[in-house]
Amino acid sequence: MKTVKEVMTAHPVSVTLLDNIYEVAVKMRDNGTGFIPVVDSADGATLIGVITDRDLVIRGYADKHSGSTAVETVMSREVISVPESASVEEAAELMASAQIRRIPVTQDKKLTGIVSLGDLAVKRVFADEAAEALHDISQQQLH
């Protein structure tokens, strides 16, 4: 059984509370992602939140916040994450039940990577789990 550590994207781009939402948007653009973890500025690794492109739009720009608005204003603090030792199946089930497409990977509360449905699907062995998770997410969002 493979673990998420084996399929995750290691060393993901992140921001701290010292950054603003313009900087988050630039990092998303430059790194081709719609998901940025927020880490503690003291150690640069402890996961404290996440920001999605949707968060930027809904909580940021749609509420007429400027680009200099603090990351804290738009980030989600209630983060669902998985330990590096979690199985790929466990991660897929958690993603489906929480209706999320990406999940931070941690070791002792420190961000070590991100697993996306795409990461699961690329590994042909786990295509079924990824497809099932995406199906569950899509079905729950339709209701």
pLDDT-based confidence at residue 118 (cuts at 50, 70, 90): confident
Task: Check pLDDT > 90 for residue 134.
Answer: no
Residue 99 to residue 114: CA distance in whole angstroms: 16
Report pLDDT for 121: 74
Query: Could you read off the pLDDT of 24-67 as tens digits, one per residue?
Result: 999 999 999 999 999 999 999 999 999 999 999 999 999 999 99
Instruction: For helices 127-142 and 88-98, give the axis angle rounded to 10 degrees.
Output: 10
pLDDT in tens, 62-105: 999 999 999 999 999 999 999 999 999 899 889 989 989 999 99
